[in-house]
Chains A and B, each alone.
Chain A
Amino acid sequence: MLSIKNLQTSVDDKEILRGLNLEIRAGEVHALMGPNGSGKSTLAAALTGRDNYNVTGGQVIFEGRNLLDLSPENRAREGVFLAFQYPVEIPGVSNINFLRTALNEIRKYRNLSPLESKEFLKLVKEKQKLVEFDVALSNRSLNEGFSGGEKKRNEIFQLAMLEPKLAILDETDSGLDIDALRIVAKGVNKLRTNDNAFIIITHYQRLLEYIVPDFVHVLYNGQIVKSGGKELALELEEKGYDWLKEESKERELV
């Protein structure tokens, strides 16, 4: 589904990703861990097309298409979704209007007719139930007045609504209490199918107890320095990142 080859990016002439490689197949969940500043969020930004991140080298193929050539909206329409680390509040844009616009623009791109109001609202109800997001959405502005936890849960609800092929969860667990974390994880697990894939960016092993990944990758200094199964997350939890930093320094010296 996604093939990242030698991806390099910079922000203000500072190199962030230095040749990142990653292969993701449909049905897989990949966890991406690593110390602060290793480039995790940059990868999310580069994949979704955020403006101020310059891709300076490498390529990203998503479902046979060169993802880097596409605008952010077309990436979303092709099926890439980012659950934001800090979801934006947009006063004056209603949750419902926003969702309907997004859904119908994606449908239009796929040559599907727009959803009728009734069908749409039915879908909203159904998906709200699925991900246990019971916040009242109508007559409220996008994320406005939502608590930190509600904003994160709204991201998962949007994920449920838009049904992307590839979902990137950027530190969705940060700022969540244990109950909210369970609900979010439960939602994500319900949304897992053989046809979609997830990249879960996190600092903590905790989330991965609930969303069990197929692969765990450690990002350090703009590269994936170690990959493994779900046990790798436990090992990191126990030992921290220092041993990996050492290993990677040694490699560089060699």
Chain B
Amino acid sequence: MISRDIDTLYDQFIADFETKSVLMADEPDNVREFRRHSFEHFRLLGFPSVKNEEWRYTHIAPFLREVYSTSSEKPGSLDQSFLSSLQIRSLDGIRILLFNGKYLPEFSELPPDSGIHVSALTGAYQERLVSDYLGKIADASKNHFVALNSALFEDGLFIRVQDGRRIERPLHVIHVFSSESNMFVQPRHLFVVGKASEVSLVESFLNFKNEAEIFINDVSEIEVGSDARVQHYTIHGGCENARYIHHTEVRQAERSVYNNYKASFPGPAFLRNNLNVSLNGENIESHLYGLYLAGGRQVVDNHTIVDHLKPNCQSNELYKGVIKDEASGIFNGKIYVRKDAQKTNAFQKNNNLMLGKKAIVDSKPQLEIFADDVKCSHGSTVGQFNEEALFYLKSRGIGEERAKALLIHAFAYDVLEKMPLASVKSHINKLIDEGLKT
């Protein structure tokens, strides 16, 4: 690994923007304006350091010192034989494949349902919804990486579910990253789920092992219409050479339900999961469930914000972490209950199971309440195996490793049982077993 000063990467992006402005000249005015704005924010914000409260426990600097190509040409090729390995067993999903952030229709299934539209984001600029929502959900002014992505994103997905449609088959979005030389990619996605519609979205993130380091700074904006129901799964696996800043920003309208299920596994050296949900109407329900199994020297950081803006909403968050080896886990969960958000029910819990003597976890649950008639709670625990349970299993002839695996599955169960898709659940159980062996 060659390393250099962080400023070098910063300068590289500053120069990039100048070059790309020329290339982006054919983009619509609103998009160019959005990029320019965002770029100004990035120019001022730069990259975060541990002095920034949101990055206090997350040492990203080493990964920003690596040398990356930031050009829009993304080298690398997709091996056909890998395609089948990307499927989730017995998940009858509509496959949508992205390679290095670029939508590949030839490797994807065209949605059979007319209620759904899938295309490359850059190909959908003429859509009114894109101009309505792009950059309107994720705020580039406060977040270094959202600003950078907004200024320089290359492409990504635009998915729209029409009002009143119930999409039976889950959408399985597979994000594959591969490159022969170091690269920095910035995919950008927009999902607009119409009023009173229903959809399940399963996102898998994968990369293949090779020498090249890949930094992925992606941003997804999700608009959930009134009375809509969204089940959203993300699974991060893959290999050491990936670094992720995965930012998801959700805005919900009245009476909608948005459930997010996150699972991450040993592999990527760095994973920052930002999930911000804003409850922008009355009678909204949001559930955030997360499972992180970290191993090796992985850094896995889950940052969530649940923002209650209106009365009579419910949110529930449960994140469970299993930290092996010398990995470090970070959980930072923030709940805001704004002045108007009376009768809010908001709960948050983070539990961690430490397996390695050198494993680290930093857990920071936070509540900020400005309303006075609310029910809120938060809490966090860090612990080890229950010796009593372990002995009970061993006393029945179950070996140490197997007994521990059973207890880890049991620990994860609270999160897994919440997932409606059985195929995803068993896929995750399989990934837990694989993750424990590495």
Contact = CB atoms under 8 A, between A and B. Distances in A.
Given A88-B388, A105-B402, A73 B394 contact: yes
A84 B410 CA distance: 21
A90 B387 contact: no
Interface residues of A, number: 30
Given A73-B394, A76-B394, A92 B388 contact: no
A71 B403 CA distance: 13
A51 B387 contact: yes
Given A101-B398, A162-B397, A51 B412 contact: no
B394 A90 contact: no
A91 B394 contact: no
Given A92-B411, A92-B414, A98-B406, A73 B388 contact: no
A181 B122 CA distance: 73
A90 B389 contact: yes
A51 B387 CA distance: 9
> Which 3 residue pairs of A and B lie closest in terms of their CB atoms, listed nearest first?
A92-B410, A92-B413, A76-B397
A101 B393 CA distance: 10
A75 B389 CA distance: 17
A98 B410 CA distance: 11
Contacts of A162: 396-397
A48 B399 CA distance: 14
A71 B413 contact: no
Interface in B357-377: none
Interface in A82-128: 82, 84, 87-88, 90-93, 97-98, 101-103, 105-106, 109
B317 to A, nearest CB: 19
A98 B396 contact: yes
Contacts of A82: 395
Contact of A71 (B387, B393, B400, B412): B400
Nearest to B387: A51
Interface in B393-438: 393-400, 402-403, 406-407, 409-414
A81 B386 CA distance: 21
Contact of A90 (B392, B395, B399): B392
Interface in B77-113: none
A123 to B, nearest CB: 15
9 contacts: A49-B394, A72-B394, A73-B398, A73-B400, A76-B396, A88-B392, A91-B414, A93-B409, A98-B393
B391 interface: yes
A50 interface: yes
How many B residues touch the partner, as a band?
Answer: 20 to 34
Contacts, number: 77
A73 B392 CA distance: 10
Contacts of A105: 397-399, 402
Interface of A: 48-51, 71-73, 75-77, 81-82, 84, 87-88, 90-93, 97-98, 101-103, 105-106, 109, 141, 158, 162
Given A92-B413, A93-B409, A93-B410, A51 B396 contact: no
A131 to B, nearest CB: 16
A198 to B, nearest CB: 16
Contacts of A75: 395
- Select the residue from A51, A75, A93, A103 with max chain B CB neighbours within 10 A: A93
A101 B395 CA distance: 12
Nearest to A99: B396
Contact of B402 (A50, A72, A87, A101): A101
Contacts of A72: 391, 394-395
By CB atoms of chain B within 10 A, which of A71, A87, A98, A109 has the most? A98
A58 B238 CA distance: 53
A92 B409 contact: yes
B386 to A, nearest CB: 8
A81 B399 CA distance: 15
